[in-house]
Structure 1
Amino acid sequence: MKIKRVIAACLAAVMVVLPLSGCGNSSGEQQGNGSGHVEVLRIGTTYKNDGYSAMNSESAYGRLNYHSFSQLNLWRFDEEGKLTGDGCFFKKWEISDDNRQVTLHFDPLGSLKWHDGEPVTIEDVLFTFDYYKQQNMTWFLKITSVDQIDDTSIRLNFDEDEAFAFMNEATLSYYILPKHIWENVTESKKYTEPDAAVGCGPYKFVSADADAQTSYYEAVSDYPLGEITVDKVELKSFDNQSSLIMAMQSGEIDVMYGYSSSLDTTLLPTIESDPNIDPGESLNSATYQIVFGFNQYPTNDLNFRKAVRYALDYELLAQSIGGGHGQIANEGAVSPACLGYDSSLPENKRDLKKAAELLDQAGFVDKDGDGMRELPDGSPMNVKIALQGSTEIYKRIAEMIQTNLAEAGIRVSVDEQTISNPDYTKQLRTNSAYEIYLGMTTVGIASWTGIASYIADITMTSNQHFGTYADPAYLDAYSGMMKSKNYDEYSAAFKDIQKMNAQEAPGIALAIMKTYFPYRTDKITGWVNYPSRGVINGETWYKAVAK
């Protein structure tokens, strides 16, 4: 008989654990407990079940903590993509007029406890910001000092006017940490002792079955931040989305969680006829895109870039990328799901005649009659396209771009090394040596600065470098977003970015996608579907109730 490897629920001497009655029940039955609470919420994901640590953001456990689950977020994004303190440690804040200070307020301490029973103290709060600096967390390095104002307030001081940017960047994977556990841990990413999972969020880690790829959690009794309506959570990992959906159809799981990894649209037909499953549809803030290299010719030529924009078949791209559910983007090159979206800009439209006129004006003509245009000096034109990833969708998009541009007489070839060698691709970006770069604005980046982070000649706070566009007006607008003090200022600067995207074509959004995070509706209600994120979010633990 196969012996299952079980990670100890007891967290040894660290944590008091309640009996796991029914925790291993995989029948899918939800039994009410007389209070309207969900007895067990079963979440399915394709992230691996491992890495049960506050400092691990890549595992299934780490991703779920993006939503104030076992670890308590400093603050989070609400349904509109704006900051909120609901269900988080800090409840409200004020940004100084010079945008170099933020004063953070939290509830009186005393009732909030760590999962090992120790009280959360002001020392934990102050320690957290210092520890993140010690661990070289980029945004926290911008903090010059932290002042304790009183028993429920601290002030962060910054070396630049980016306090509001810090708030928006430090949303997902940063939490208040227990000093008594982490103060002697120098390499946080390598620390894997059981107490690494101790947090002060609404759910405490109970156990994990590595063979079953399932972890178990229980709600904290009398949680001071609000009534938790989901008593237990089971987080189960699947090898692929097909097996996850089969488990949902059988009632083994209640909901799919994927952070930014939406259900593949080819699987939608398998659930469309199921009256008990909602596909969890919303607009995706993420977009696939191409950006042009401004250190290379001919991609630094405005007429060439606009000709490429006119040559692309957006209906085909939307159909292929969106699986029949995609939409055509506008020339601003961002999704309508993004905060500050400018709907006034013209929609991308294919016009091969206009593309030909622009290429002719720039001197890109077919001189040898082979159907492909040459450079103005008569030499062959072969523009290389670099791929950010090696997955099939990147290859498929690249092939469509090649075909579309060939119809305008532009020869394009894929830089094959970018498919097989990620280090080469990174170096190509770092050296600003690409001509066309096919990539993606992720959900996280889309929530703050968007495609501009991939276009502007800047180095991200993650020390990644993508863009090559160094136009002063563009960089000023990017700086305007980073130094904004509120969402009105941010949106104004972001709209300037979109207008310049339309005018100068430094990048092109290839399609607007939808996201699908399915969930069952027959036993649970109260779901709140966040655009791009789904129904697993910071509200789930307090609003999902049994029918």
Structure 2
Amino acid sequence: MKKRMIALLVIVVLLVSACSANTEKKEEAKPAEETQTEVKNQDDKDSNHVKNLVIGTIGKNDIFNIVSAGGIFGSMNYNGFTQGNFVYRDENGILQPFFFRSFEISDDGKELTFTFPTDAIWHDGKPVTGDDIVFTFDYMKNVKKQGSLKELESCTIEGEGKGKLVFSEPMAYYWLNSSSFNSRVYPKHVWENITDYREYTGEDAAIGCGPYKLVKVDKESQTSYYEAVPENNYAGDVTVDKVTCQTYSDKSALLMALVQGEVDAMYNYANPIDAHLIETAIGVPDVDLGESDYSGNFQMTYGMERKPFDDINFRKAVRMSLDYKKIAEVINGSYGTAPGAGIIPPSCKGYDSSLPILSKNLEEANKILDEAGYLDQDGDGFRDYPDGSELDVMVTQQFSSSRQELFNRLSESIMASLTELNIKSHIDQDSLRSDEVWEKNITDGKYDLSLGYTTSGMAYYSSAFRYFLADPRFEGEETWIWGTFHNDEYRDAYFGMVLAKNDDEYIKNSMKLQNMANEYCYAQALCWEKAFFPYRTDKYEGWQNYPSWGVINPRTFFVLTEK
């Protein structure tokens, strides 16, 4: 009996063991099935990847240096392309995390705390470390002399994947916003012994920690080639495996290449396709014009340090005399519209819609000048100064090889309006000699009417109002001054805007500057525009057309997939 009981116990133990073994085998098999499913899902994801995105540009493939940021390599990195930009702006102009996984500004505006990835890699395989971040801010402040970091007191790593910037003044919001597309982490092991960063041409000058790495350059054909670095997935999984950047001689050749399917999309920083060119692509199958409101603008600044534009009556009369419909056609074809009196367009943060739209009123303009004493006193058909001396307005064009023809046509239109007012005018030939001569004349205030341009990048934060600033914050401050409107209220409002602690402060001061433009007429916009950055729709989906920027933007490489 005892032996039978032992035998039964042995059988039970064996059965239990067998069941347990079978159970363990099933549990071991389950992860394998899950792995197969995960692999399949990943394969499905990868099958939708864009194999090679071809981007057309007129920017040159000539400089491959992450610090100097020249050529198409530099402007592509405004999108965090090969570089780990700290943040980026979304389609609504709102700052979003990129290399900084999160960020927060203190109530007093002096501290910026942030987190960063601990698994990011440089393109030579080395890990990105906290030392690189600390080095970067020291390099930007003390070697590059970045003005927005002048008040930076310290950059410290506060723990794994955490850091802090401390400013002596409330500059955290300003630095983050003004540097959103041109500040990124630098590899310490490449740049720590290089002070002349603009001239450095070593092969490692292009090394970054962005989602793409440079793999080849063909300078003869003006082509550069890039491959994805999936580990640096700051905005999600990278969905574009390879990118080719192809340079064309001009916008016409670039648009033709896109129409013919040689390129998938175009990218030119602050340089969209001209309105008269884009009309040739209307109705072309599988081509979207990429139309959006443009945040930049052409503008005219009044030289208020000299006659006759030190007189507000003269300024207002000229503003009323312009043919805004004709000017809009010159700048933006049938898409352009008359601007508002507050200068910045509706796509800019803080736009004040209550201000009037500018319009021509020649009768009122003549009345203002007559009453102010600007009459034809010598009988030559042109107005003179009230004291009888000759009045001859000088029109100064911004020196720009790419926009020279357009500035010529703008000058013609504006001078025609001055002629209607019986005001003699001429072109400033001296400033056409070089960029250096032009800038010196502008800085010295040696102009009557100055025609210029605000790029979409400048418009995002510093705005057109930066160009009208006539006084620094304090005596001895190192900054460029192109304006002639010496007004403490304007100066305080401008710096109150750019040095704001938050959006509310920014908008409040921006609206004040707009209202002062309407009241004092120190400058004006010439046109509000539509921008065109065309792209093809036949192969890929997920395009996001950022206003003023186009479909090649910081999100492109994380959302674009094959159809």
SS in 1 for 2:101: strand
SS in 2 for 1:148: strand
Superposed CA offset, 1:370-396 (max 9, x none): 331110001111111211125111111
Question: Is residue 81 of structure 1 aligned with residue 97 of structure 2?
Answer: no
Q: 1:315 maps to which residue?
A: 325
Q: CA deviation at 1:459?
A: 5.2
Within the candidate set 72, 80, 83, 1:60 is matched to 72
CA contact (8 A) 1:480 1:493 kept: yes
SS in 1 for 2:315: helix
Q: 1:120 maps to which residue?
A: 128
Q: CA deviation at 1:364?
A: 0.9
SS in 2 for 1:498: helix
Q: What is the total number of aligned residue pairs between the two structures?
A: 512
Per mean C-alpha deviation after superposition, the further-off stretch among 151-160 and 52-61 is: 151-160
Instruction: Show the 5 A alignment for 1:144-163.
Output: 144-163=153-172
CA contact (8 A) 1:449 1:494 kept: no
CA contact (8 A) 1:33 1:39 kept: no
SS in 1 for 2:272: coil
Q: What is the distance in 2 between the residues matched to 1:60 and 1:254?
A: 16
Q: CA deviation at 1:224?
A: 4.2
Instruction: Show the 5 A alignment for 1:459-474.
Output: 463-474=479-490
Question: Is residue 454 of structure 1 aligned with residue 454 of structure 2?
Answer: no
CA contact (8 A) 2:399 2:438 kept: no
Superposed CA offset, 1:11-43 (max 9, x none): xxxxxxxxxxxxxxxxxxxxx996211111000
Q: CA deviation at 1:498?
A: 0.5
SS in 1 for 2:131: helix
Instruction: Show the 5 A alignment for 1:1-16.
Output: none
Q: 2:111 maps to which residue?
A: 101
SS in 2 for 1:333: coil
Question: Is residue 282 of structure 1 aligned with residue 260 of structure 2?
Answer: no
Q: 1:299 maps to which residue?
A: 309
Per mean C-alpha deviation after superposition, the further-off stretch among 458-467 and 145-154 is: 458-467
CA contact (8 A) 2:332 2:530 kept: yes
Superposed CA offset, 1:436-461 (max 9, x none): 11111121221113221111213599
Per mean C-alpha deviation after superposition, the further-off stretch among 280-289 and 405-414 is: 405-414
The 1:104/1:33 distance shift into structure 2, 3 A limit, reads: closer
CA contact (8 A) 2:375 2:386 kept: yes
Instruction: Show the 5 A alignment for 1:16-415.
Output: 35-85=47-97, 88-107=98-117, 109=118, 111-135=119-143, 136-225=145-234, 226-390=236-400, 391-415=404-428
| Letter of the structure 1 residue corresponding to residue 365 of structure 2 | A
| Letter of the structure 2 residue corresponding to residue 211 of structure 1 | E
Q: 1:496 maps to which residue?
A: 512
| Letter of the structure 1 residue corresponding to residue 331 of structure 2 | I
TM score, norm. by length of structure 1: 0.91
Per mean C-alpha deviation after superposition, the further-off stretch among 121-130 and 32-41 is: 32-41
SS in 1 for 2:150: helix
Per mean C-alpha deviation after superposition, the further-off stretch among 186-195 and 306-315 is: 186-195
CA contact (8 A) 1:215 1:235 kept: yes
Q: CA deviation at 1:492?
A: 1.3
SS in 1 for 2:333: coil
| Letter of the structure 1 residue corresponding to residue 324 of structure 2 | Y
Q: 1:27 maps to which residue?
A: none
CA contact (8 A) 2:264 2:535 kept: yes
Q: What is the distance in 1 between the residues matched to 2:485 and 2:182?
A: 30
CA contact (8 A) 2:178 2:462 kept: no
CA contact (8 A) 2:327 2:527 kept: yes
| Letter of the structure 1 residue corresponding to residue 462 of structure 2 | T
Give the structure with higher Rg (CA): 2
- Larger % of helix: which? 2
Question: Is residue 508 of structure 1 aligned with residue 518 of structure 2?
Answer: no
Q: What is the distance in 2 between the residues matched to 1:326 and 1:469?
A: 28
Q: 2:26 maps to which residue?
A: none
SS in 2 for 1:322: helix
What is the RMSD of the two structures over their aligned residues, measured on CA atoms? 1.7
Q: CA deviation at 1:49?
A: 0.5
CA contact (8 A) 1:101 1:156 kept: yes
Q: CA deviation at 1:56?
A: 2.9
The 1:386/1:462 distance shift into structure 2, 3 A limit, reads: farther
CA contact (8 A) 1:45 1:257 kept: yes
The 1:465/1:360 distance shift into structure 2, 3 A limit, reads: same
CA contact (8 A) 1:44 1:254 kept: yes
Q: What is the distance in 1 between the residues matched to 2:244 and 2:496?
A: 43
Q: CA deviation at 1:266?
A: 2.0
CA contact (8 A) 2:298 2:527 kept: yes
Q: CA deviation at 1:267?
A: 1.5
SS in 2 for 1:145: strand
Per mean C-alpha deviation after superposition, the further-off stretch among 515-524 and 355-364 is: 355-364
CA contact (8 A) 2:209 2:232 kept: no
Superposed CA offset, 1:137-188 (max 9, x none): 2223331222322222222222332221111111222211111111122211
Identity %: 40
